[in-house]
Amino acid sequence: MMEAMIDDAKMAAGRKAVQFIKNGMIVGLGSGSTAECFIQALIDSDRKIQAVASSRASADLAKRGGIEVLDINTVPRIDITVDGADEIDPQNRMIKGGGGAHVREKILASASDELIIVVDNTKLVPSIGTRKLPIEVMFYGSPATRMKIERTGHQGQWRLNPDGTLFITENGNLLFDMHFSSPPKAPEHIHDALLHIPGVVDTGFFFNMAKRVIIGYPNGKTEIR
């Protein structure tokens, strides 16, 4: 699909999500281009809310639009978080972390009474694992951690910046992007095995978290499931 059509679909999903935001709420802001469509629509809506952000980019966009962004370390619970996804299956299992913010995104999602996922229709897959799985890894001992990760049977590589240097997350860690030769039958087992490896902070798998998914289409229509 053409880039401009995908952008229209993302905008439709982002705008739709604003209807679930009420004055007085604390809103978790996800990261990525679709989450940014939501943030822009939230700014335009003039809702009186406070926010917490999963990345510097999302915090900066919200602040520029006049939204008060709270320090996450002063906020024990969040009313609602709106975030994007890289892939989502019919059971709402997801892969996130294309932008490298999935650890913070998962912390916000799990502190929230509700998580709304906003995606364009190209993100819908029958089974997750067609794209890479980002795994956040501590720099300390990372060669040993990588060897254990790859012993689970799946290869990958460290994520790099465009200039070839190592990509470092906002938490100061590396990202290992794991590839699957075909979508795994039981991604939950892979997630559990990876979480047991010392040095692994978290994976980009999200299970049982999305209460509502808003799917945007290039014609501006949306579907909620």
**Which residue in 192, 156, 193 sits closest to 175, CA to CA?**
156
List the interface residues with ligand 5RP, window 90-119 (CB under 6 A): 96-102, 105
In angstroms, the CA 172 to CA 193 distance is 23
Catalytic residue among 36, 105, 170, 223: 105
| Residues touching ligand 5RP, count (CB under 6 A) | 18
CB of 106 to ligand 5RP, least distance (A): 9
Task: Between 31 and 173, name the residue whose CB sits nearer to ligand 5RP.
Answer: 31
Determine the distance from the C-alpha atom of residue 115 to the mean position of all C-alpha atoms in its chain, rounded to a whole number: 11
Task: Between 43 and 148, name the residue whose CB sits nearer to ligand 5RP.
Answer: 43
Task: Tell me: does residue 85 bind ligand 5RP (CB under 6 A).
Answer: yes
In angstroms, the CA 30 to CA 38 distance is 9
Determine the distance from the C-alpha atom of residue 148 to the mean position of all C-alpha atoms in its chain, rounded to a whole number: 25
List the interface residues with ligand 5RP, window 4-33 (CB under 6 A): 30-33
Q: Does 114 participate in catalysis according to the annotation?
A: no
In angstroms, the CA 4 to CA 162 distance is 23
The two structure tokens encoding residue 28: 């978790």
In angstroms, the CA 152 to CA 30 distance is 30
Task: Tell me: does residue 86 bind ligand 5RP (CB under 6 A).
Answer: yes
Residues serving a catalytic function are: 105
Q: Where do contacts with ligand 5RP occur on this chain (CB under 6 A)?
A: 30-35, 83-86, 96-102, 105
